[in-house]
Amino acid sequence: MIRKEHSPPQATLQKSPTGIQGFDEITAGGLPAGRPTLVCGSAGCGKTLFGIEFLVRGATLYNEPGVFMSFEETNEEIIKNVESLGFDLEDLIKNKKIALDHVHIERSEIEETGEYDLEGLFIRLGYAIDSIGAKRVVLDTIESLFAGLPNQLILRAELRRLFRWLKVKGVTAIITGERGDETLTRQGLEEYVSDCVIVLDHRVNEQTSTRRLRVVKYRGSIHGTNEYPFLIDETGFSVLPITSLGLEHIVSDERISSGITELDKMLEGKGYFRGSTVLVSGTAGVGKTSVAAHFAEAACKRGERVLYFCFEESPNQLMRNMRSIGIKLDQWVGKGLLQFQATRPTFYGLEMHLAVTHKAVNAFKPEIVIMDPINTFILGDKENEVKTMLMRIVDFLKGNQITALFTSLTSTESALESSDVGISSLIDTWLLLRDIELNGERNRGMYVLKSRGMANSNQIREFILTDNGVKLREVYIGASGVLTGSARVAQEAHENAALLRRKHDIERRKRELEQKRKVMESRVAALHAEFRSEESEALKNIETEQDTINLQERDKIEMAVSRKSIMEKRKPKKHIKL
């Protein structure tokens, strides 16, 4: 019998969850518990707000009181600044969940006292920690000490002692620092804080700004190493953990209607797979938004939530335009089933759009997401960046079993069977709308370029907009190919006339046959009458002849009988001798 050797359980680093949306997923649980973490970045990138939210979430979600020691802003300024995020620091301070301590450092005052150390800082911080039983500490920004205190050699030695002291106290600490030119911080604080280093970045590219976060170092723990976009809004920090998205999402066999009956018939009569990604592409004015509106209306009728991202039209304009084809989207907005997110692509950077999309989806929790159109993100030479962003959105939606429909404008210079954003490989069902120019007319056509996992029609259908929505007409093929518009009408009239002529010819032939049938039937009737007359006469003659024959036979018999009796009379009698 083979004995299995059980490996000892792997020890894991104890984590202190931050409660910041997305960040704990990146760091596999939060910051290292009982250790200091360096958060560095340039001015305005969100270091202070990161530290404040770390304390607030710890106090409200995990019952871990915290101390915020500031070297720049006063307590009153901090309380006012974070009110916009919905954080009521005054209430938390009153309930001894958070303690604020502003340390005022003035270089001129320090120079008058001569040599110094940070013993006073240790005493103040220790008192604040002990007064509320703090488990978390934020020092913001400790580099102000370098500006206020002249002897940096002594200061560096004191900082090493401070960080060791924080570890001894067993508190989870965040130290914020300003970004240096060639180093993570101006004074090289990363040399002292070696457990976890986080860099926040606020960059401007082509007049659009983006905030990003990167975990540079995390001793004793796995973590995401990419740059992650993050938002600072009315709810605080939210980080987008893009690297955690893989290709292991669950797929569904359920089918949902496109909202266009004829289009469903082209897709096995069942529509799209739930959780799939649909692309509707084509040149300007072919009806891409109309197809998207049909899909949104059909989902709302099923009682599903739809999140509609508009990047070219305002929601009111889109709803007004859709009313012209009989689609009334405003009623679903009123019922809370349809929500619009209207933003110009230039309002945010690409990463910020990605983060906003994640945040909106997580808040509204839709079954359907529509983005109309996605090609507007391409500004300058950003095709690769746009493709990366859309890939992350597709993976995120698939991971949540959300059906996505994208529209994309195809430029007239490029091939129709290609997408300007280069995401065709990510698409499950691709509908292509095209212009069909014939005989001086411009008409619309639709066909299914591909649809994974199902049989689909290979026909090009004429695509028309009516008062009752989109209609797909049956394929009409003439001598020169598929016909649309007036050419189709003319061909239909010509064929209808030919059909009418054939019907008339058939009717004429039927009448001729009927007349011949009647003539034939009259002749047959006459022959029947003649036959019956001759038959009657013949039967009478036969009967007369038969009677004559019978009479003759009786006469012969009677004659024979008569002759026999005469012979008997003439025959002599014989005498008997006795």
Report, as residue numbers or ranges, the catalytic residues.
Answer: 72, 312
Q: How does DSSP classify residue 142?
A: T
Q: Which two tokens stand for residue 39?
A: 């958060």
Q: How far is CA 199 from the centre of its chain?
A: 33
Distance CA 337, CA 501 (A): 55
Are the beta carbons of 407 and 453 closer than 8 angstroms? no
Q: 3-state DSSP call for residue 253?
A: coil
Distance CA 306, CA 332 (A): 9
Q: How many residues does the chain have?
A: 578
| Sign of the torsion angle spanned by Cα atoms 107, 110, 115, 116 | negative
Are the beta carbons of 483 and 339 closer than 8 angstroms? no
Are the beta carbons of 31 and 64 closer than 8 angstroms? no
Q: Which of 139, 142, 121, 251 is nearest to 187 (CA)?
A: 142
Residue listed under structure tokens 């007359």: 533
Q: Which two tokens stand for residue 188?
A: 């090289």
**Non-local CB neighbours of 556 within 8 Å, separated by 6+ positions:** none
Sheet bearing 368-372, strands edge to edge: 338-342, 306-310, 368-372, 403-409, 277-282, 429-438, 441-451, 461-466, 469-473
Distances (CA, A) of 365 to 98, 244, 306, 362, 499: 33, 20, 9, 5, 56
DSSP annotation string for 32-84: ETTSEEEEEESTTSSHHHHHHHHHHHHHHHS---EEEEESSS-HHHHHHHTGG
Q: 3-state DSSP call for residue 7?
A: coil
**Non-local CB neighbours of 221 within 8 Å, separated by 6+ positions:** 12, 13, 15, 27, 28, 29, 32
b/e 190-202 (16+ beta carbons within 10 angstroms → b): bebbebbbbbbbb
Distance CA 130, CA 101 (A): 13
Q: Which two tokens stand for residue 106?
A: 């003035």
Are the beta carbons of 121 and 162 closer than 8 angstroms? yes
Distance CA 326, CA 506 (A): 44
Distance CA 497, CA 260 (A): 32
| Sign of the torsion angle spanned by Cα atoms 123, 125, 130, 131 | positive
Are the beta carbons of 429 and 272 closer than 8 angstroms? yes
Distance CA 577, CA 563 (A): 32
Q: 3-state DSSP call for residue 437?
A: strand
